[in-house]
A and B are shown apart, each in its own frame.
Chain A
Amino acid sequence: MWQGITDGLPFVLVILPFGVLFGVLAAEAGLNMFEALSFSIVVIAGAAQFTALQLLGEHVPTLLVLTSALAVNLRMVMYSASLTPHLGAAPLWQRVFIAYFTIDQSYACAVAAYERNPGWSVPQKVTYFFATVAMICPLWYLSTAFGAWLGNGVPDGLALDFAVPITFIAMIGPMLTTGAHRAAALTSVVLSLIFNFLPFNLGLIVAGIGAMIIGAQVELWLERRAPVQAGKGARQ
């Protein structure tokens, strides 16, 4: 229990500024505190919330806002799949709450801890999971509310318009861990600029799908190449 809380603590430092920023931007976009807070409580996914807010502000049709923001959240399917071997045996009501609290931070903490402690029982794993979010999630709500309250006092300006792009770019950098990830990101940039003329932000969808295909193909290509390189190394 305590181990989960302490493992989750460092992430509080990341969550707080994000929550405040989301609140401020939501207020700038004309949302009141109740709306901003509902956003964070109902959706509870930073990147998708920023995406939705940005596109709502650009008056993109609702269906495309939803498609784009859900696409950002598709990684949750992966998280769900990789938590299942550990937590799939828990009672249904617990799994409902686990699903709701599946965020980047709780997933990362939990998977790492389960690998370190293969002897844990299912209830121990469940307790650990909830402990990691015990601090993070309430603070996500509170910081959003604080940002929304603060937001109305922040003057308009270029800096704030550009806060969302900067936030996303800062999040992308650490994700570029493999050649396939870098290829996907580069494809995504190029395609989004080429197809920017498409209406309703459809360029985003085209670029997203194209970049996913490129990422997957580069991964396959790198995998096929790896044994050849190992062979070469052995001969030398």
Chain B
Amino acid sequence: MTDISDSALWAVIIGLGLGSFGLRFAFLGLIGDRPMPEWLLRHLRYTAVAILPALVAPLVVWPTATEGNFDLPCISAALIALTVGYVTKNVLIAMLTGAVTLSGMVYLLS
């Protein structure tokens, strides 16, 4: 992960900043308290759980660090972090157990 061009970086920072502000200001500032259509709300509820897993799944199955080869520590760490997060509802504990699993497995298998 190196050599990000300055122009791409600033385009993303500024574009994402303006875009995120637009999303946040949409109702509060512009639309007021007119109700949103039910079907739209129904889809918006699932944006986070629809995008984040899709972002992560290929990185877990084909990790960058192993140049895309199946990697037992990555898969185990992912499954453990997911389970712990699901059961405890605590993001920090899930992150920590995932990280410990990953480094533990890497250490054991090396």
CB within 8 Å of B: which residues of A? 13-14, 17, 25, 28-31, 35, 38-39, 42-45, 47-49, 51-52, 54, 56-59, 62, 65-66, 68-81, 83-85, 87-88, 92, 95-96, 98-100, 102, 157-159, 161-176, 180-181, 184-189, 191-193, 196, 203-204, 207-216, 219-220
Contacts and interface: CB of A to CB of B under 8 A. Distances in A.
Interface in B22-60: 23-29, 31-33, 36, 39, 41-60
A70 B65 CA distance: 26
Nearest to A102: B24
Contact of A166 (B8, B23, B25, B77): B77
Contact of A169 (B23, B66, B82): B82
Nearest to A87: B28
Given A96-B25, A173-B89, A43 B16 contact: yes
A203 B54 contact: yes
B55 to A, nearest CB: 6
Main secondary structure, interface of A, reads: helix
Contacts of A181: 46, 49
Interface in B62-110: 62-66, 73-74, 77-78, 81-92, 94-95, 98-99, 102-103, 106
The 6 closest A-B pairs by CB, nearest first: A173-B85, A215-B46, A57-B1, A211-B50, A170-B94, A42-B17
